[in-house]
Amino acid sequence: MKPGLAAVIAFALLAGCAPKEANLYIFGGPGRADHWLQDQYEGYTDLYVLSDPVLDTIAVTLNGRLLRDQYEEESQIHYYSDTVDPEPGTEYRLEVVTDVGNASASCVMPGDFVLTLSPSDSIPLNAPVSVVWTRSTRADWYAVGCYFYSGNDSRDTTAEVRGDTSFLLPAGWLNKPCILYVGVTAGNGPYIKAGAEGNISNAGGFWVASNWRSAEAVVGEPEIDVLRSYRPHGRPDEARLRYLRAAAPYDEAAAKLLARLK
């Protein structure tokens, strides 16, 4: 299960995104993410099927391939995960067959895009940071998440962006030496929020394809322990190389990673 997915599902349910009269609530979708230190992308799918009451039969297929329920015990919650072809433009057709009815949905993997931060080198304390990315084909929306990591002190902020490809992190937000982590998701399908209408035929819920990019930057002069404990995500682009160069004098693991990239 991808980090944070269960929390998002719980939020969607509590916020009333799921129709109360539905016997089935379905949440999930395929994803494409850059993989740390590998010149490749990984593709995955996560899917939850919530039933009320407990159903005797649930068969889930993705593009005709049967998925296995990861929760083997009888329950109202069923979880499915698998690897998928992560190529942009791929259509993902979901079919859920149960003893009380069938449900279906489809989505398309958005195209790749490039994410940049400005400034990207040695960001001064309290400076505003511009997050800019190129357009992703087939993307209906973008979600931006910014995370401030400074040892025991951390904070984050998220935002939905439609029709634009930039986000401004305001002056004063980065008010301590830290590692700044920024992630941008391009999504195909409805954006999940309170009151949003899902896209599952004959059931409540959401089936969304997401393409994800991330970047890190060093803000000020973080303490050695912060550089040692933080681990970057995604592909080894220039922002991550700058992070590794800053951490290498204090962290043997970072030095080894940097050496592998030279």
pLDDT tens-digit map of 21-30: 447 889 899 9
| Together in a domain, 13 and 79 | yes
Q: What is the pLDDT of residue 136?
A: 96
CATH of the domain at 103: 2.60.40
Q: What is the pLDDT of residue 106?
A: 97
Residue 80 corresponds to which amino acid?
Answer: Y
Contacts of 222 (CB under 8 A, 6+ apart): 150, 177, 178, 179
Question: For the chain, how many structural domains are there in total?
Answer: 2
Range of the domain at 83: 5-108
pLDDT in tens, the chain (262 residues): 343 344 334 434 433 444 434 478 898 999 987 654 444 567 888 898 888 777 777 899 999 999 988 876 677 888 898 888 888 999 999 999 988 889 999 999 999 999 999 998 679 999 999 999 999 999 999 999 998 888 777 778 888 888 899 999 999 999 999 888 898 999 999 998 878 899 999 998 999 999 988 888 889 988 877 776 666 554 445 555 665 676 677 666 667 666 665 5
Q: Is 97 inside a domain boundary?
A: yes
Q: What is the pLDDT of residue 4?
A: 37
CA distance 190 to 188: 7
Q: Compute CA distances 147 → 150, 153, 216, 254, whole Å.
A: 10, 11, 9, 20
Residue 57 corresponds to which amino acid?
Answer: T
| Together in a domain, 124 and 103 | no
CA distance 158 to 189: 18
| 3-state secondary structure (DSSP) of residue 9 | helix
| Together in a domain, 58 and 179 | no
Residue written as token pair 């889930």: 60
Between CA 210 and CA 75, with CA 98 as vertex, the angle to 5 degrees is 80
Q: Within 13 Å and on the Cβ side, how many CA atoms surround 138?
A: 17
Q: Is 207 inside a domain boundary?
A: no
Run of H or E residues at 225:
helix 224-229
Could you tell me the pTM of the whole model?
0.79
Q: What is the pLDDT of residue 235?
A: 47
Looking at 138-203, list the stretches that DSSP marks H as alpha helix, in order from N- to C-terminal side.
none
Q: Is 62 inside a domain boundary?
A: yes
- 16 φ/ψ sector (left φ>0, alpha ψ -120 to 50, else beta): left
E runs forming strands in the chain: 24-34, 41-51, 58-62, 65-67, 77-83, 91-98, 101-108, 115-118, 129-133, 141-150, 153-161, 166-169, 178-188, 204-207, 209-219
CATH of the domain at 175: 2.60.40.10
| Together in a domain, 126 and 50 | no
